Structure 1
Amino acid sequence: MKYALITGASGGIGREIAIALAKEGYCLYLHYHTNEQSIDDLREHLASTQTWKIKANLAAKTGVSKILEAIPTSIDVLVLNSGNSYVGLMTDMEDTQVEEMIQLHLTSPFLLTKALLPLMVQKKAGNIVAVSSIWGVTGASCEVLYSTLKGGLNTFVKALAKEVAPSGIRVNGVAPGAIATKMMGNFSDDEIESLCDEIPMGRLGEPKEVAALIAFLISNQAPYLNGQIININGAWYC
């Protein structure tokens, strides 16, 4: 049996990642924080796949331990997909918001990976994929902290890959551009149309396109891809 843990599985990208990995024969641990209905719907959709749902707030210090307590098996694939953004001036952010976002985007992924790595090293096999963002590569005004943290996650991928490659483990990241998920819900139709005009391919990306890239990265078709941040943004930023 092959086991995968997907954090943030209740979101648009997370759902498609789960569907893609189920097709590859993985048993799935599906993490969520608040959207239990989405997870229940996903599990019903994946009725022929063995799945477990895990509720935990990765923006809190107790989140990682709650996930680890719910996983009795070793993990073959870890997909770090949880995240949210703050749009606004950095000077308007409350300190608690800053601390929670750092916990969510960097501290929890780091500690979760740290806890799951020993069994991967023991087996001399494993895949870790971090879902970053275009803003972690280029930076974005009014999303300074989000950009900072995603940039840190990109460096985490590159550094960890060098550390664990001798143990047969691959670590990669994907940096999506504008993807048609609920995170785009704050934009009006006119704003989305204007955004699409900036993207050379003329449209938003689809969550299933991100999921397909992740499925490729963890497959036997990409055995020498390690330590890479793959941009998937329709040539918006190259």
Structure 2
Amino acid sequence: MKKTVLITGASRGIGRETAKILAANNFNVAINYYKSEEEAEKLYCQLLDMKCDVIKVQGDVRNRVQVDNMINIIYRRFGNIDILVNNAGVAQQKLFTDISEDDWNLMFDVNIKGIFNCCQSVLPKMINSKKGKIINISSIWGITGSSCEVHYSASKAAVIGFTKALAKEVGPSNIQVNCVAPGIIETDMNSHLDASAMEELKSNTPLGVVGSARDIAEVVLFLASNKANFITGQVISPNGGFVI
């Protein structure tokens, strides 16, 4: 029986590549998006062309009512959600002294409250069926911290703590909860970096390259597969050796 995966923030970047690689590996795919309707529609059509069973669902992960509605739509279509990939996130570079309360609240509302909402919405059914996988996307900066990204780093560190604690709590229900903490990845989130900044990051990476969204999607695919059934509470950081 085909498994169903919900990917939040799936219309672009890592989320989009994750949707494509899971579709290619015979998963039913639920594409969540908030504002990027055009990009979500393009991805939806791509997955249909791949003969994937796919649905796209609009919803703001910060809003519990919208999250519950989204989850219920997916249940009605596929009957279950076997894998939740909490990918939706925002980033911002600012001096700490310039971060406003609104900046801080947005970062935590999307990056950690969104995960809280989605996990709480899917877990009752996972616990009842004694199976499921949750994969949270953090960041290397959640491990090391980054100058001029205090609020982003703090929110992504919270994702790591959330993952480890929840894994212990739901492990007895045969649910695996893991975290992927990407290094420097060539996505829209890093599009503000100019060529010289990217070259410097490459030179500081032992492998000499920055990562691609596909690199991260491959890790998510592994964690979503039966090959990772004995892995839980872990943080995997594909970063080219940037941090060891």
Normalised by the length of structure 2, the TM-score is 0.93
Q: 2:207, 2:241 within 8 Å by CA — same for their partners in 1?
A: yes
Q: Percent identity?
A: 37
Partner of 1:189: 195
Partner of 2:172: 166
**2:31 paired with 1:30:** yes
Partner of 1:102: 108
**Runs of 5+ consecutive residues of structure 1 not aligned to the other structure:** none
Quick one: distance in 1 between partners of 2:117 and 2:109? 10
Q: 1:15, 1:42 within 8 Å by CA — same for their partners in 2?
A: yes
Q: Which amino acid aligns with 2:179?
A: G
Q: 1:178, 1:204 within 8 Å by CA — same for their partners in 2?
A: yes
What is the deviation of 1:149? Answer: 0.7
Aligned pair partner of 1:233 in 200, 215, 239: 239
Aligned pair partner of 2:52 in 49, 52, 63: 49
What is the deviation of 1:126? Answer: 0.5
Q: 1:81, 1:130 within 8 Å by CA — same for their partners in 2?
A: yes
Matched residues, number: 238
Aligned pair partner of 1:93 in 96, 99, 112: 99
Q: 1:60, 1:100 within 8 Å by CA — same for their partners in 2?
A: no
Q: 1:59, 1:101 within 8 Å by CA — same for their partners in 2?
A: no
* RMSD of aligned residue pairs (Cα, Å): 1.4
Quick one: distance in 1 between partners of 2:105 and 2:63? 9
What is the deviation of 1:206? Answer: 1.1
Q: Which moved more, 1:91-100 or 1:160-169?
A: 91-100
Quick one: distance in 2 between partners of 1:130 and 1:113? 10
What is the deviation of 1:17? Answer: 0.5
Q: 1:120, 1:126 within 8 Å by CA — same for their partners in 2?
A: yes
What is the deviation of 1:62? Answer: 5.0
SS of residue matched to 2:70:
helix
The one-character-per-residue Cα deviations of 1:187-214 (angstroms, maximum 9, x if unpaired) are 1111111111111111110111111111
**2:158 paired with 1:152:** yes
Quick one: distance in 2 between partners of 1:42 and 1:68? 19
Partner of 2:121: 115
Q: 1:61, 1:103 within 8 Å by CA — same for their partners in 2?
A: no
Q: Which amino acid aligns with 1:24?
A: N
Quick one: distance in 2 between partners of 1:99 and 1:66? 23
Quick one: distance in 1 between partners of 2:125 and 2:72? 15
The one-character-per-residue Cα deviations of 1:12-33 (angstroms, maximum 9, x if unpaired) are 1111100111122211110111
Partner of 2:85: 79
Partner of 2:222: 216
SS of residue matched to 2:191:
helix
SS of residue matched to 2:18:
helix
Partner of 1:176: 182
Quick one: distance in 2 between partners of 1:63 and 1:182? 25
SS of residue matched to 1:70:
helix
**2:153 paired with 1:129:** no
Q: Which amino acid aligns with 2:30?
A: Y
What is the deviation of 1:60? Answer: 4.8
Q: Which amino acid aligns with 1:204?
A: V
Q: 1:176, 1:233 within 8 Å by CA — same for their partners in 2?
A: yes
Normalised by the length of structure 1, the TM-score is 0.95
Quick one: distance in 1 between partners of 2:155 and 2:66? 18
**2:207 paired with 1:206:** no
SS of residue matched to 1:54:
strand
Partner of 2:67: 64
The one-character-per-residue Cα deviations of 1:37-66 (angstroms, maximum 9, x if unpaired) are 211111111111111111122345654244
